[in-house]
């Protein structure tokens, strides 16, 4: 049974299902869940970085509130991180940084063109992960 599951969370229905799955695993196996929400940033200089810091604090509180509403055990079982970067790369880097032994991600169906243009986080994670990955649909 996983002891520390990582969930990539973007607020989508698929992410909520992934979070619920990871929480159930944590409850059953005495583990914890690390929820990471990745903000993708467009180039914009120092002003953009300052605005991101201000909105990041607010977004972190909103994320915590949203997760608590989904599952009251959030305060007891969940570590939350809000960060910037490419979602797939961030999730994969979290594995080594935090001794993650399982990744849970949601998958949203996109057409072939959309996957080709913007890629798929789940595809990137599946290709690069060195721990078990559960994709929740």
Domain ranges (residues) in the chain: 4-136
The predicted model scores a pTM of: 0.84
**42's tokens:** 């467009």
Residue 31 has pLDDT above 60, yes or no: yes
Helix (H, G, I), strand (E, B) or coil at 127: helix
pLDDT higher at 21 or 44: 21
Express each pLDDT in 101-129 by its tens digit.
999 998 776 555 444 444 578 888 888 99
From residue 76, give the alpha-carbon distance in Å to each of 72, 82, 109: 8, 18, 32
Helix (H, G, I), strand (E, B) or coil at 64: helix
* Residue keyed to tokens 């994320």: 63
Closest CA to 25 of 100, 126, 114, 116: 100
Q: Give the CATH H-level superfamily of domain 4-136.
A: HUPs (3.40.50.620)
pLDDT at 126: 87
């Amino acid at each position: 049974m996983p002891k520390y599951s990582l969930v990539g969370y973007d607020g989508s229905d698929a992410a909520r299902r992934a979070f619920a799955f990871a929480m159930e695993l944590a409850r059953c196996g005495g583990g914890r869940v690390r929820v990471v929400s990745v903000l993708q940033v467009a180039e914009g200089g120092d002003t953009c970085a300052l605005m991101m810091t201000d909105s990041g604090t607010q977004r972190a509180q909103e994320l915590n509130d949203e997760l608590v509403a989904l599952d009251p055990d959030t305060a007891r079982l969940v570590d939350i991180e809000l960060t910037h970067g490419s979602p797939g790369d961030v999730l994969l880097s979290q594995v080594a940084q935090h001794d993650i032994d399982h990744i849970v991600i949601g998958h949203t169906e996109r057409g072939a063109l959309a996957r080709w243009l913007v890629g798929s986080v789940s595809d990137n994670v599946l290709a690069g992960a060195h721990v078990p990955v559960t994709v929740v649909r």
